[in-house]
């Protein structure tokens, strides 16, 4: 398999074509953004952490029955993935109030939620990735009803798997964002699972161990990413 021209470059990754039309190569960058691109910077070796951590988690999820786009890790930063057609939805699961949820609904950060919350955002940078409900999704034909049901079921399953996985490593899963795509007419998990896309708090101290350290200028950003990666590798 040969790496070919770059298909596109996003905020955190570059995606390259290969000589196999069903496979792509993803190259993870150290670039960091927050607040829909309003804050920009770099986190040293973030791409190395996010690539390898995502792959470890994707392999774990595959074992639990969640299909993913992961094929093969090529290097610290590069991975071969299935060429999925991404659904234009950010799928958000919330176990504990934090971030935009706390601001939107006036709930203190850290308050446990009586029910796990599933949210959807419309993936559109120009619109600021607005929240969207099931009827909006169907009306705009962003996904079919069957696809939406499957995405929702997988999202809840991923949540249960990740909560246990991280808790065994001394981390609480506060919330996370995932994306799904279509491959061979099947819904599969894509994108990444990393400190960029998950809120992770230290179990005993509630210390933030994720991208909030960059968003909120909390310091020790690189060190925290490395600490999370070391725990994930265990």
40: domain CATH number is 3.30.200.20
Model confidence pLDDT, tens digit, residues 91-111? 999 999 999 999 999 999 999
Question: Is 230 within a domain?
Answer: no
Question: Is 172 within a domain?
Answer: yes
Percent of the chain with pLDDT over 70: 100
**Averaged pLDDT for residues 68-80:** 98
Per-residue pLDDT for 34 more than 90? Answer: no
Burial 26-56 (b: 16+ CB within 10 A, else e): bbbbbbbbbeeeeeeeebebbbbbbbbbbbb
> Is the same domain home to 120 and 178?
yes
Distances (CA, A) of 33 to 29, 96, 214, 219: 11, 23, 9, 15
Question: Is 231 within a domain?
Answer: no
**Domain around 30:** 3-82
Model confidence pLDDT, tens digit, residues 157-168? 999 999 999 999
Q: Which of 33, 51, 82 lies at the terminal end of a domain, its last residue? A: 82
Write down the pLDDT at residue 45.
Answer: 95
Percent of the chain with pLDDT over 90: 94
Closest-CA residue to 54 (of 41, 39, 40, 71): 71
Burial class (CB in 10 A: 0-12, 13-18, 19+), 207: middle
Question: Is 91 within a domain?
Answer: yes
**Averaged pLDDT for residues 108-135:** 96
Write down the pLDDT at residue 215.
Answer: 94
Per-residue pLDDT for 36 more than 80? Answer: no
Residue 182, token pair as written in the block: 């279509």
> Is the same domain home to 158 and 179?
yes
Per-residue pLDDT for 37 more than 80? Answer: no
Distances (CA, A) of 191 to 54, 170, 232: 9, 24, 18
Domain count, the chain: 2
- DSSP 3-state assignment of 211? coil
Write down the pLDDT at residue 33.
Answer: 87
């Amino acid at each position: 398999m040969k790496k070919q021209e770059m298909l596109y470059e996003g905020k955190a990754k570059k995606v390259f074509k290969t000589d196999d039309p069903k496979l792509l190569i993803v190259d993870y960058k150290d670039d960091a953004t927050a607040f829909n691109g309003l804050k920009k910077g770099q986190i040293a070796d973030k791409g190395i952490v996010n690539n390898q951590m995502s792959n470890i988690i994707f392999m774990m999820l595959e074992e639990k029955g969640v299909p993913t786009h992961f094929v093969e890790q090529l290097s610290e930063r590069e991975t071969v993935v299935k060429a999925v057609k991404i659904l234009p939805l950010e799928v958000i699961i919330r176990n504990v109030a934090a971030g935009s949820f706390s601001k939107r609904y006036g709930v203190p950060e850290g308050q446990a939620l009586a029910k796990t919350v599933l949210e959807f955002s419309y993936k559109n940078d120009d619109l600021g990735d607005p929240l969207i409900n099931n009827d909006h999704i169907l009306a705009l034909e962003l996904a079919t009803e069957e696809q939406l049901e499957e995405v929702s079921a997988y999202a809840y399953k991923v949540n249960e798997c990740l909560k246990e996985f991280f808790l065994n490593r001394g981390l609480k899963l506060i919330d996370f964002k995932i994306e799904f795509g279509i491959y061979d007419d099947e819904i599969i998990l894509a994108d990444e699972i990393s400190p960029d896309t998950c809120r992770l708090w230290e179990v005993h101290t509630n210390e933030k161990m994720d991208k909030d350290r960059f968003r909120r200028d909390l310091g020790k950003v690189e060190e925290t990413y490395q600490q999370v990666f070391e725990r994930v590798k265990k």
